[in-house]
Amino acid sequence: MGSRRLLFEVSRQNSRLKPVTNLFSCSYHASLKFGGNAGISSENVVQRAFTDQEHKIQHPAFSMLLSRALYSTEAATKEVVPTEAAKELHDKLLKSVLEQRTAPPNNWLWSLIEKCQNREDIKLLYNVLENLRKFRLSNLRIFENFNDNLCREVSKACVRAEAIDLGKKTLWKHNVYGLTPSVASAHNILLYAKQHNDVNLMVDVMKLLKANDVPLQPGTADIVFSICYNTESWELLCKYAKRFVKSGVKLRRTSFDTWMTFAAKLGDVDNLWKIEKVRSELMKTHTIGSGFSCAKGFLLERKPNEAAAVIQLVTQILPEVKRPDIMAELEKLVSEWPLEVIKGRKDEGKTALAAALQEDIPAMLDSLSGLAVTTDLKMADLTKIPF
């Protein structure tokens, strides 16, 4: 009895479905055949289908058709096409190379690079480069790639058009476009990664530089360190720093400042002194960034007098015009850095560190007064460390 009753219910539900199914089908085909609604309002049909309280049914084929139509409309509105200027130059260049079999004027190619505004323009550019390379090989017997300046401008155009995946091709050693990978091209993409705090893109570029034997430069370290600092990627910064040092790259003061400031912010004293050792072997004098990072390291080791001595040294070696910068850094050391370094500590170490800094920072400021480091700041305000 149970199975017979179940079959009866299924049959009854199917009989209810058929009128609605036929209704949609008739409306759809009539519309296609006669170019209109064929005497039946499709809006009324849809309204009846969705407001019928007895059935409450959605026709699956109609829903799929509707979603496809909406998707197609949206895709059409977002379709990107080449700009007229880029297309015109592309056609002129290809006509010269493929039809007339003559070398086009150099300024045409440079102009095309400058005109590229979107991804489709970049595709046209790469098509021209590939055909020009073939022409140079077969007709002019030029086996060298295009010069570095052109490759750099191609990567810049890719970044401008936000065609980053195409821009990565400028870092390929073996390519059909005649492009020579260079660190200048890489910098264009890395600066885009810095602007967008894109760590993954930075990692991709560094892998491409290694795979294609592109030598690292001090400017590369500046950008990479900055991205790592802004995204709080300490382990990644240390990884790339070792690679730069091992490659013999002489890091700039700005790179050391970023590296040491990051270590002091995290309270990583061991690495801070290792970095300072490498820095001191390359340069004899401190910057504001490296000097105050060392002062923070001494404070973490509970050596307020040594911290004061480093700040005094920085004050003496830097010109008077830098005095406002020194005072601004001192104020940040008191009001901002303690919160940063305590935030990075584990729960069991926060209380002890806070108590130590509350005691040692005022002692450091007292030593600065004794060392004749005059400031316009109110020491009483600076010693109020908000934990």
Three-state SS annotation for the chain: CHHHHHHHHHHHHHHHHHHHHHHHHHHHHHHHHHCCCCCCCHHHHHHHHHHCCCCCCCCHHHHHHHHHHHHHHHHHHCCCCCCHHHHHHHHHHHHHHHHCCCCCCHHHHHHHHHHCCCHHHHHHHHHHHHHHHHHHHHCCCCCCCCCHHHHHHHHHHHHHCCCHHHHHHHHCCCCCCCCCCCHHHHHHHHHHHHHCCCHHHHHHHHHHHHHCCCCCCHHHHHHHHHHHHHCCCHHHHHHHHHHHHHCCCCCCHHHHHHHHHHHHHHCCHHHHHHHHHHHHHHCCCCCHHHHHHHHHHHHHCCCHHHHHHHHHHHHHHCCHHHHHHHHHHHHHHHHCHHHHHHHCCCHHHHHHHHHHHHHHHHHHHHHHHHCCCCCCCCHHHHCCCCC
**Tally of structural domains, the chain:** 3
Same domain membership, residue 65 and residue 91: no
Same domain membership, residue 345 and residue 321: yes
Domain for residue 53, yes or no? yes
Q: Cβ of 217: how many Cβ atoms within 10 Å?
A: 19
21 φ/ψ angles, rounded to the nearest 5 degrees: -60, -45
Same domain membership, residue 159 and residue 63: no
Residue 56: the pLDDT is 41
From its phi and psi, is residue 346 left (phi > 0), alpha (psi between -120 and 50) or beta?
Answer: beta
Domain for residue 343, yes or no? yes
Q: Among 107, 105, 106, 112, which Cα is nearest to 89's?
A: 112
**In angstroms, rounded to a whole number, what is the distance separating the alpha carbons of residues 91 and 290?**
55
From its phi and psi, is residue 56 left (phi > 0), alpha (psi between -120 and 50) or beta?
Answer: left
For residues 365 and 383, is the Cβ–Cβ distance under 8 A?
A: yes
Same domain membership, residue 381 and residue 306: yes
Same domain membership, residue 31 and residue 127: no
Q: Among 193, 148, 186, which Cα is nearest to 167's?
A: 186
Domain for residue 121, yes or no? yes
Same domain membership, residue 386 and residue 332: yes
Domain for residue 231, yes or no? no
Query: In whole angstroms, what separates CA 163 from the centre of its chain?
Result: 13
Q: Which amino acid, residue 106?
A: N
For residues 280 and 337, is the Cβ–Cβ distance under 8 A?
A: no
Q: Among 287, 259, 284, 285, which Cα is nearest to 272's?
A: 259
Interhelix angle 234-246/218-230, rounded to 10 degrees, is 170
Residue numbers of the domain that contains 362 = 285-387
Residue 371: the pLDDT is 65
Residue 372: the pLDDT is 60
Domain for residue 198, yes or no? no
Task: State which of 8, 38, 72 marks the end of a domain.
Answer: 72
Task: State which of 5, 40, 72 marks the end of a domain.
Answer: 72
pLDDT 10s digits, 228-265: 999 999 999 999 999 999 999 999 999 999 999 999 99
**In angstroms, rounded to a whole number, what is the distance separating the alpha carbons of residues 210 and 30?**
64
Same domain membership, residue 387 and residue 290: yes
Listed in sequence order, the residues at least 6 apart from 11 whose beta carbon sits closer than 8 Å to its beta carbon are none
Residue 343: the pLDDT is 87
For residues 113 and 160, is the Cβ–Cβ distance under 8 A?
A: no
Residue 62: the pLDDT is 45
Same domain membership, residue 374 and residue 295: yes
Same domain membership, residue 333 and residue 369: yes
Same domain membership, residue 373 and residue 340: yes
pLDDT 10s digits, 174-196: 999 999 999 999 999 999 999 99
Using 50 as the pLDDT threshold, list the residues of the chain that sit under it: 1-67, 69-77, 378-387
Residue 7: the pLDDT is 43
Domain for residue 260, yes or no? no
Residue 78: the pLDDT is 57
Residue 369: the pLDDT is 80
- Measured torsion, CA atoms of residues 367, 368, 369, 374, in degrees rounded to the nearest 10: 180
Q: Which amino acid, residue 167?
A: G
Task: State which of 174, 191, 208 marks the end of a domain.
Answer: 191
Residue 353: the pLDDT is 92
Same domain membership, residue 128 and residue 50: no
Domain for residue 177, yes or no? yes
Domain for residue 271, yes or no? no
Q: Among 213, 215, 225, 163, which Cα is nearest to 188's?
A: 163
For residues 170 and 154, is the Cβ–Cβ distance under 8 A?
A: yes
The pTM of this model reads 0.76
- Can you give the three-state secondary structure of 259-274, one letter per residue? HHHHHHHHCCHHHHHH
